[in-house]
Amino acid sequence: MNAIGYMRLSSKDQSKSLEYQESSIKEYCKRNSLNIIGLFRDNGESSYTFDRPDYRALELYLKNYKGQCNYIIVLDHDRFSRNLPEALMKIGELETKYGVKVLSTNERIDLDTSDPDVFIKRAFEYMMANKELFNIRKRTKQGVRNAKESGRYLGRAPYGYRNIIDGKRKNLIEIHQGEALIVERIFKEYILGIPQYIIYKNVKSLGFTRTSKSAIQEILMNCVYAGLIRVPPFQELPEKFVKSIHLPIISDAEYWLVQNLLKNSKRKTRVQPAEDFPLRGILKCWCGKGMTAGYTKGRKNYYMYYRCTEHTNFNLAGNKLHDAIESVLKGLSFSSHQVQFIKETAKALSIEPLKLKKEQHQNKIKKLHELNEKIFKLEERLMNNEIESSTYQTWFQKFKEEKATLEYSLKGNQPSKIRNEDELVGRILPNLANLYEIYQKGNITQKHTLMRGVFKDNLVWGDDMFRTAFIDPTFNDNILKVKQKGLLFNEQPFKVLGLSPVSTQRRSSLLFLFI
């Protein structure tokens, strides 16, 4: 009589080695005069499924040499499977399809598997094996949770870290300096409002190796970089974040601020600008739709054009529009006497805003103390069973995001870091004096930032000139000049308060594009 020996070793249960299983199977076969024609071993494979490499090879062997094998011998039935219904079905299938009996080393060779008592006994054994599997899974989950609650990161280190083993043979992670600088830049650029696809281009040139479409998103959402470990909810215990034992790359405040920005970001398709077409994403058709751009084949050359996504039969020459926008920016640029006048006016107006900044700083500190008190009371109420864990989680997340936003704001606006207004204006205004030069030197993202600051993302081409409903009030004095030259028509001129813009107390947000 011929037999095949089958052995399986779980990655979580090492109590019965493959060597021990093999020797026991060989001894059983010798005792029962069975000829072993094959041995199959699965190392580190799950007991819950039969999708194991060597078991699949075993079934293929039975198929190819049907009738040559009479028995499959295993040490114990839990080596065969710990899935009660699957195991009983598989045993029946092997007997029916290949005429092969599955026996453990503690069963008689002449066992009648059709006996109801044998079926009940085996069903009980597999039921206990199934129960033990559930216990193993439960212990594993609890062990993972305990490790996370102690601040340990489990698994392969994320980008920016590398795996190490400490003296106690425990897996840890430590910062990879080169990659950490890239991670830090990703967070800082996203906080500044730079789109994710632009961030990806920026960091890819620095050596960022991830190629997934969601690579930047995955990094932004990973709390590990803030020195936090997420402990998932378990039974009635809520989700929580604990301090990690590894060092952070970014601050806790930066991480929660980014989560707030991600949650509130509008999910819409954005026009991706190209260096050759700086007006794509800025220029609109008279119908209000955005203009696309591309090249068209002429008789001898290719020519760039802009075209409405709706009115596709009307092309605008790209070179003509590019020359025209450069002329507009030259015309809007400040003259030297305008720059000097703004310097003097800004100096006189800088006293009150500085006082206001200090007051706002103190108010933020006070609000931060109040938030810390709210978080403490919220945790106290959870511990006293006064609120449900779901209620706690909702309010904790809200308070945490508010706290992160405040902390980040305070970090960049400490009294010692509030810059002198005279120095700030003195540094920025020479740049504003020549918008055309800024435009020429900037990359596509900087060009878009500049034009959206000047025209508020509402620029139309019509009657052989640019038309807009809004120009930043900083340039009110120069609008007439570009209009007389036939370069730009302001369809809804601003009502200027007093002397515009240099004598009004209304300040332009465009100044801060160059900080």
Residue for token pair 């308070």:
399
Alpha-carbon separation of residue 363 from 358, 421, 454 (angstroms):
9, 21, 33
Residue 118 has pLDDT above 90, yes or no: no
Lowest mean per-residue pLDDT among 30-44, 91-105, 320-334, 425-439:
425-439
Kind plus residue range of the DSSP H or E element containing 265 = none
Rounded Cα gap, residues 134 and 145, in angstroms: 16
Largest CA distance in the chain: 111
Residue type, 381: R
With residue 303 as reference, give the H or E element that holds it: strand 302-308
Question: Following DSSP, what letter does each residue of 215-234 receive, concatenated?
Answer: HHHHHHT-GGGGTEEEE--B
Q: Which two tokens stand for residue 318?
A: 């790209």
Per-residue confidence band for 503, with pLDDT thresholds at 50, 70 and 90: very low
363 vs 346: which has the higher pLDDT = 363
- Asked if residue 267 has pLDDT above 50, the reply is no
The reply to whether 2-140 and 161-247 are identical in fold is no
**How many angstroms separate the CA atoms of 75 and 433, rounded?**
86
Q: Which two tokens stand for residue 169?
A: 């043979």
What number of helices (H) and strands (E) belong to the chain? Answer: 17, 15
Span 209-214, average pLDDT: 86
Both tokens of 36, joined, read 């072993």
Sign of the four-CA dihedral 219, 224, 225, 228 = positive
Decide which of 3.90.1750.20, 1.10.8.60, 3.30.365.10, 3.40.50.261 is the CATH code for 161-247.
3.90.1750.20
Q: Across all residues in the chain, what is the average pLDDT? A: 80
Nearest-10 Cα torsion for 326, 332, 338, 340: -40
Percent with pLDDT over 90 in the chain? 16
3-state secondary structure of 214: coil
Question: Taking 70 as the threshold, does the pLDDT of residue 505 lie above it?
Answer: no
The pLDDT confidence band at residue 70, using thresholds 50, 70 and 90, is: very high
pLDDT digits (tens, 9 = 90+) for 451-498: 887 886 578 888 888 888 888 877 777 888 888 888 888 765 444 333
- Cβ 292 vs Cβ 282: under 8 Å: no
State the residue for tokens 């000139």.
465
The pLDDT score that the predictor gives to residue 416 is 53
CA 322 to chain centre: 37
What is the number of other CB atoms lying within 10 angstroms of the CB of residue 208? 21
In sign, the C-alpha dihedral spanning 217, 219, 225, 230 is: positive
Residue 376, classified by CB atoms within 10 Å of its CB into exposed (0-12), middle (13-18) or buried (19+), is exposed
Is 50 exceeded by the pLDDT of residue 133? yes
Residue 213 sits at φ, ψ, to 5 deg, of -65, -25
User: Rounded mean pLDDT of 387-402?
Assistant: 83
For the chain, give every domain's residue range: 2-140, 161-247, 283-333+434-514, 341-423
- Architecture in CATH for domain 2-140: 3-Layer(aba) Sandwich (3.40)
| Range in 194-203, 362-371, 448-457 the model is least confident about | 448-457
Q: What is the CA radius of gyration of the chain?
A: 36
How confident is the model at residue 501, as a pLDDT?
A: 39
Q: Per residue in 344-361, pLDDT tens?
A: 776 666 666 667 777 888
Higher pLDDT, 250 or 138: 250
Half-sphere exposure of 400 (CA within 13 A, CB side): 17
Banded pLDDT at 420 (limits 50, 70, 90):
low
**Sign of the CA dihedral running 68, 74, 77, 79:** negative
Q: 122 Cβ partners below 8 Å, 6+ apart?
A: 77, 88, 91
Q: Which of 171, 208, 152, 243 is nearest to 163 (CA)?
A: 171
Minimal CA–CA distance to 396: which of 383, 384, 378, 408? 378
Say whether pLDDT at 159 is over 50.
yes
